[in-house]
């Protein structure tokens, strides 16, 4: 049956259902589009014969919403949202955001903090013995003990705090069907210990087979070094072929995390994206103006999953994995052709990509049999000799999309890994990128210029970005284009002190760059960088790392990147004095800021540092 899945009792009755198999509780508005995880999971369950009803953004302070469909036959599914609820709610300065892109009209306050824990406990209070399966980015990245930036504490596995029976982590198409089939066959949640891509509570290690024992939660609380060691083991067990089951003890019981689900084949990926999505938000949101997040991706195509880039501050390794999964050209062309039927489509495809747009295949053939290397990265610190670099498939795909009748332009906005591009000896994609797929500005993410900081970030050396930038502008001029690079920069990442922040400011000065936005490092769950932030150690080698935590120092680092802004003058001057770089305060061409103006206290006359009076004309 076509149409949105039921959100009301009346919609369920219209389908002739007595009750659903699953009630899916969402922290976001209900958008039936494959860019939204809940849409995929619900449609996959529907394809496999299960009845799913949706409860979107329920009021967790009373039982009216959660009682809407009664007790489901098999259980509740809980997804707090497409973002971790705490990232969604708070800035890096821990200030409450005033806009929520996943809520009708951008309204705030429609989901609780720590939404997975609150929703699951909310359900448990009304349906004591109901089965609860948690999934999505929040429980996925909190499946084991983790540092929580907002409470500045080590928190237990979300499986415990939420009282869920099972966490389905990562991309859950395989695991959710296996769980559903097991429940449908009459198994109890405590008996479902065999599904890949899941975490569960248990008190008998005999059911596990081969496993790795992690430090207990009590050990982790007492010793940050043990936490760094535990995190390293977890990071090395994120590939479906090589990973072992991980066990974390909590006294009389433990949390077990099975190896990840196997990646989808291209045919399976195509089938997932070809399910009968409505490709719209539910009409109930029309009066509020719709869902802002959907407006951003409505005319974009997701071509791949996974990322072998290995940035330290990114959690993709823990969620989607490092192995690339890609859709076929035919699947993507078919979806692009559907856009022509939308009256709002003006011929512009906003993006064709994934976590990294120009990754369309596994980084080497070895991964297909042996998995990704647990202790080595494909691009960092330098390109692995086994890395297979080619943009031929991506070029062919983009050409097919450009040729579709009604398509005027195809942009790439989801991020280009420039070191991978520079490693390609064939310049075809470089010229096609600049010639056809940039909308005046190409956003790239060098993040920093200090090689010391870049090393901790898992990014290539600054020389690689310099070479890329030079080549971009050469190609741009050769094609008679006027286009620019917009670099994303990050301040206060572990390893970055005032010295490194000043190095970045000097680079911006020398290249006449004036970034409008600067991102402070945000310690989100389950990243290498967050582990560094919490422990002061690099989990990869155990070495100590300087971590800027003082809000004032972080403000100085951010101000240095935007040193041209007059509002930042005092912070920049303080930072330069503190770092012993007063040579950058003056009137010379290499100086970041001018000397401060002095005031003749007796006469109230402004004078320059050389003692000369500043006239009204000069002031103007």
Q: Does domain 9-195 have CATH number 3.40.50.2300?
A: yes
Under DSSP, is residue 536 helix (H, G, I), strand (E, B) or coil?
coil
pLDDT in tens, 344-403: 999 999 999 999 999 999 999 999 999 999 989 999 999 999 999 999 999 999 999 999
Q: 515 pLDDT exceeds 90? A: no
Q: 614 pLDDT exceeds 90? A: no
- pLDDT at residue 425, rounded to an integer: 96
Q: What CATH topology corresponds to 299-439? A: Transcription Regulator spoIIAA (3.30.750)
Distance between start and end Cα atoms, the chain: 71
pLDDT in tens, 92-119: 999 999 999 999 999 999 999 999 999 9
This prediction has a pTM of: 0.93
CA 535 to chain centre: 22
pLDDT in tens, 579-595: 999 999 999 999 999 99
pLDDT in tens, 532-576: 999 999 999 999 999 999 999 999 999 999 999 999 999 999 999
- Residue 231 contacts by C-beta under 8 Å, 6 or more apart in sequence? 528, 531, 539
CB burial of 210-245 (b: ≥16 within 10 Å; e: otherwise) equals eeeebbbbebbeeebebbbbbbbbbbbbbbbeebbb
pLDDT in tens, 437-466: 998 999 999 999 999 999 999 999 999 999
Measured CA to CA, the distance from residue 191 to residue 86 in angstroms comes to 32
- pLDDT at residue 611, rounded to an integer: 44
CB burial of 267-304 (b: ≥16 within 10 Å; e: otherwise) equals eebbebbeeebbbbbbeebeeeebbbbbeebbbbbbbb
Whether a cis peptide bond, with omega within 30° of 0, leads into 591 is no
- pLDDT at residue 320, rounded to an integer: 93
Q: Mean pLDDT lowest for which of 205-209, 294-298, 307-311, 472-476?
A: 205-209
- What is the domain partition of the chain in residue ranges? 9-195, 299-439, 442-577, 586-620
Of 611 and 599, the one with more pLDDT: 599
Give the residue from 263, 267, 388 showing the smallest Cα distance to 328: 267
Q: Under CATH, which number does the domain 442-577 receive?
A: 3.30.750.200
Question: In percent, how much of the chain has pLDDT > 90?
Answer: 92
Bridge pairing between strands 605-607 and 598-600: antiparallel
Sign, CA torsion 535/539/542/544:
negative
- pLDDT at residue 383, rounded to an integer: 93
Task: Using pLDDT thresholds of 50, 70 and 90, give the confidence band for residue 618.
Answer: very low
CB burial of 354-393 (b: ≥16 within 10 Å; e: otherwise) equals bbbbbbbbbbbeebeeebbbeeebbbbeebbeeeeeebee
Domains 299-439 and 442-577 share a fold: yes
- pLDDT at residue 558, rounded to an integer: 96
Distance of CA 580 to CAs 42, 343, 449, 506, 507, Å? Answer: 59, 60, 20, 15, 18
- Residue 173 contacts by C-beta under 8 Å, 6 or more apart in sequence? 40, 41, 44, 261, 264, 268, 272
Helix axes 329-339, 266-273, angle to 10 degrees: 20
Contact 431, 479 (CB under 8 A): yes
- pLDDT at residue 605, rounded to an integer: 52
Q: 218 pLDDT exceeds 80? A: yes
- pLDDT at residue 604, rounded to an integer: 55
Measured CA to CA, the distance from residue 148 to residue 132 in angstroms comes to 23
Residue 614 buriedness (CB in 10 A; 0-12 / 13-18 / 19+):
middle
Q: What angle do CA 311, 426, 306 make, to 5 degrees?
A: 30
Residue 607: count other Cβ atoms within 10 Å of its Cβ. 14
Give the residue from 241, 237, 256, 263 showing the smallest Cα distance to 194: 256
């Amino acid at each position: 049956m076509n149409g949105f899945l039921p959100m009301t009792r009346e919609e369920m009755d219209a389908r002739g259902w007595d009750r659903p198999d699953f009630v899916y509780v969402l922290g976001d508005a209900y958008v039936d589009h494959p860019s939204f995880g809940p849409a995929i999971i619900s449609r996959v369950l529907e394809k496999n014969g299960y009845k799913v009803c949706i409860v979107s953004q329920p009021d967790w302070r009373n039982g009216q919403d959660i009682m809407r469909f009664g007790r489901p036959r098999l259980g509740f599914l809980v997804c707090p949202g497409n973002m971790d609820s705490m990232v969604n709610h708070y800035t890096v300065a821990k200030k409450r955001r005033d806009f929520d892109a996943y809520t009708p009209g951008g309204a705030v306050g429609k989901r609780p903090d720590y939404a997975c824990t609150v929703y699951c406990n909310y359900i448990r209070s009304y349906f004591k013995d109901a089965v609860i399966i948690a999934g999505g980015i929040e429980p996925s990245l909190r499946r084991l003990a983790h540092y929580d930036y907002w409470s500045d504490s080590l928190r237990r596995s979300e499986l415990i705090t939420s009282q869920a029976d099972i966490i389905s982590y990562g991309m859950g198409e395989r695991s959710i069907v296996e769980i559903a089939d097991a429940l449908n066959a009459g198994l109890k949640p405590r008996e479902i210990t065999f599904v890949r891509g899941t975490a569960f509570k248990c008190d008998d290690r005999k059911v596990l087979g081969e496993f790795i024992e992690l430090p207990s939660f009590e050990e982790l609380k007492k010793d940050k070094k043990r936490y760094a060691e535990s995190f390293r083991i977890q990071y090395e067990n994120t590939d479906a072929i090589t990973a072992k089951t991980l066990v974390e003890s909590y006294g009389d019981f433990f949390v077990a995390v099975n190896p990840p689900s196997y990646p989808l084949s291209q045919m399976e990926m195509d089938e997932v994206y070809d399910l009968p999505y409505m490709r719209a938000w539910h009409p109930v949101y029309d009066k509020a103006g719709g869902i802002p997040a959907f407006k951003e991706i409505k005319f974009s195509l997701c071509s791949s999953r996974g990322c072998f880039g290995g940035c330290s501050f990114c959690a993709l390794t823990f969620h989607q994995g490092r192995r690339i999964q890609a859709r076929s050209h035919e699947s993507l062309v078919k979806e692009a052709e559907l856009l022509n039927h939308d009256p709002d489509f003006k011929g512009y495809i906003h993006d064709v990509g994934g976590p990294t747009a120009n990754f369309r295949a596994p980084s080497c053939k070895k991964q297909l049999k042996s998995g990704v290397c647990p202790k080595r990265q494909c691009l960092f610190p330098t390109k692995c000799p086994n890395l297979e670099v080619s943009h031929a498939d991506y070029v062919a795909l983009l050409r097919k999309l450009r040729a579709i009748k009604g398509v005027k332009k195809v942009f790439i906005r989801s991020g280009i890994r420039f070191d991978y591009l520079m490693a390609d000896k064939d310049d075809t994609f470089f010229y096609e990128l600049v010639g056809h797929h940039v909308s005046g500005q190409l956003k790239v993410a060098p993040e920093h210029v200090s090689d010391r900081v870049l090393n901790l970030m898992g990014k290539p050396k600054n020389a690689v970005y310099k070479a890329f930038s030079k080549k971009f502008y050469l190609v741009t001029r050769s094609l008679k284009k006027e286009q620019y690079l917009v670099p994303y920069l990050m301040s206060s990442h572990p390893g970055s002190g005032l010295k490194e922040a000043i190095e970045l400011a000097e680079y911006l000065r020398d290249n006449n760059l004036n970034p409008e936005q600067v991102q402070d490092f945000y310690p989100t769950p389950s990243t290498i960088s967050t582990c560094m932030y919490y422990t002061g150690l690099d989990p990869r080698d155990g070495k100590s790392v300087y971590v800027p935590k003082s809000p004032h120092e972080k403000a100085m680092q951010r101000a240095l990147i935007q040193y041209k802004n007059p509002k930042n003058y005092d912070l920049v001057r303080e930072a330069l004095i503190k770092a012993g770089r007063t040579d950058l305060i003056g009137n010379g061409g290499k100086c970041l800021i001018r000397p401060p103006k002095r005031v003749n206290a007796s006469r109230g006359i402004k004078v320059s540092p050389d003692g000369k009076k500043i006239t009204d004309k000069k002031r103007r």
